[in-house]
Amino acid sequence: MKYYLIAGEKSGDMHAGNLIRSLAAKDTSARFRGFGGDDMALAGCSITSHYQHFSIMGFVEVLFSLFKIKRYLKLCKQDIDHYKPDVVILVDFAGFNMRIAKYARANGYRVFYYISPKVWAWNTGRALKLKQFVDKMFVILPFEKNFFKSFDWEVDYVGNPVRDAITGFKINPLFAQHPKLSKVTGPKVALLPGSRIQELKHIIPLLERIIARFSDAHFMLAAIDEVPKDLYRTLEQYRNVSIYYGETYDVLNNADAAVVTSGTATLETAFWNVPQVVIYKANPISYAIGKRLIKVKYISLVNLIAGEEVVKELIQNELTEINLSTALNLLLSEKDYRDKIKAGYRKVEELIGPENASRKTAELMVDYLRRYA
Report residue 282's pLDDT band, with 50, 70 and 90 as the boundaries: confident
Phi, psi of 163, deg, nearest 5: -60, -40
The three-class DSSP label of residue 311 is: coil
The three-class DSSP label of residue 349 is: helix
Residue 56 confidence (pLDDT):
52
Phi, psi of 4, deg, nearest 5: -115, 120
Across the range 294-313, mean pLDDT stands at 90
Question: What is the CATH class of 175-352?
Answer: alpha beta
Query: Minimum mean pLDDT among 149-163, 181-195, 279-293, 302-316: which range?
Result: 279-293
In this model, does residue 284 exceed pLDDT 90? no
In this model, does residue 260 exceed pLDDT 90? yes
Which residues are CB-contacts of 108 (< 8 A; sequence separation ≥ 6)?
A: none
> Which letter does DSSP use for residue 177 in this model?
G
In this model, does residue 290 exceed pLDDT 80? no
Cα first-last separation, the chain: 10
Residue 120 confidence (pLDDT):
87
Helix ranges (DSSP H) in 7-53 = 10-26, 38-42
In this model, does residue 302 exceed pLDDT 60? yes
User: Where are the extended beta strands (E) located within the chain?
Assistant: 2-7, 31-36, 46-50, 87-91, 110-114, 136-139, 156-157, 188-192, 218-223, 241-245, 257-261, 276-280, 312-315
* pLDDT above 70 coverage of the chain, percent: 92
Query: Minimum mean pLDDT among 139-153, 189-203, 235-249, 252-266: which range?
Result: 189-203
Across all residues in the chain, what is the average pLDDT?
91
Angstrom distances, CA of residue 73 to CA of 38, 69, 80: 20, 6, 11
| C-alpha to C-alpha distance for 54 and 313, rounded to whole angstroms | 29
Domain span(s) for CATH 3.40.50.2000 in the chain: 2-159+354-372, 175-352
Report residue 55's pLDDT band, with 50, 70 and 90 as the boundaries: low
In this model, does residue 61 exceed pLDDT 50? no
pLDDT digit string (tens) for 75-84?
Answer: 999 999 999 9
CA 211 to chain CA centroid, Å, is 25
Residue 283 confidence (pLDDT):
61
| C-alpha to C-alpha distance for 125 and 167, rounded to whole angstroms | 36
In this model, does residue 34 exceed pLDDT 90? yes
Residue 62 confidence (pLDDT):
46
User: Where are the extended beta strands (E) located within 78-143?
Assistant: 87-91, 110-114, 136-139
Report residue 178's pLDDT band, with 50, 70 and 90 as the boundaries: confident
Across the range 329-337, mean pLDDT stands at 97
pLDDT digit string (tens) for 341-373?
Answer: 999 999 999 999 988 999 999 999 999 999 987
User: Domain spanning 2-159+354-372 has what CATH number?
Assistant: 3.40.50.2000
Across the range 3-19, mean pLDDT stands at 93
In this model, does residue 179 exceed pLDDT 90? no
Q: Which residues of 113-125 are buried (b: 16+ CB within 10 A; e: fewer)?
A: bbbbbbbbeeeee
